[in-house]
Amino acid sequence: NPTTQVADLDIMEEAVDFCRQKGLFLIHDLAYGELVFDGHSAPSILQ
């Protein structure tokens, strides 16, 4: 992720809801989830 952007929990909740409605799988790669700066956190799709 060269932009270093992190999706917030609200966006992830919307994605989960959409996938549930459509019967889709949601795959979330949190490979660099612990690599954050300035006190930020990368939420997990499992939250």
Work out whether the CA dihedral 33, 34, 36, 41 comes out positive or negative.
Answer: positive
SS (H, E, C) 1-47: CCCCCCCCHHHHHHHHHHHHHHCCCCCCCCCCCCCCCCCCCCCCCCC
Kindly report the pTM of this predicted structure: 0.68
pLDDT confidence bin for 26, thresholds 50/70/90: very high
User: For residue 1, what pLDDT band results from cuts at 50, 70 and 90?
Assistant: low
**CB of 25 closer than 8 Å to CB of 19:** yes
Domain ranges of the chain: 1-47
